[in-house]
């Protein structure tokens, strides 16, 4: 049947992942800027974040 599927993960495993404290690490962006690298086909654009 379409739409029928079986979940293979245990509910206890999922709960242990959610119970981790969210204050363990704090991230914030200090600097953000564009980076351009010239390659054979043109310029490859990306961004850096510190």
DSSP 11-29: HHHHHHHHTS-GGG-----
Query: What pLDDT, on a 0 to 100 scale, did the predictor assign at position 10?
Result: 58
Q: Which residue has the higher pLDDT, 20 or 26?
A: 26
Q: For tokens 């709960």, name the residue.
A: 15
- Say which residues have a Cβ less than 8 Å from residue 30's Cβ, sequence separation at least 6: 50
Query: What pLDDT, on a 0 to 100 scale, did the predictor assign at position 21?
Result: 64
CA-based radius of gyration for the chain: 21
Quick one: tokens of 28? 């914030």
Q: Which residue has the higher pLDDT, 8 or 34?
A: 34
**Of 38, 36, 7, which Cα lies nearest the Cα of 46?**
36
Q: Which residue has the higher pLDDT, 50 or 7?
A: 50
């Amino acid at each position: 049947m379409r739409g029928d599927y079986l979940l293979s993960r245990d509910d206890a495993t999922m709960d242990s992942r959610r119970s981790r404290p969210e204050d363990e690490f704090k991230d914030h962006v200090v600097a953000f800027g564009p980076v351009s690298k010239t390659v054979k086909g043109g310029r490859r654009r990306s961004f850096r974040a510190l």
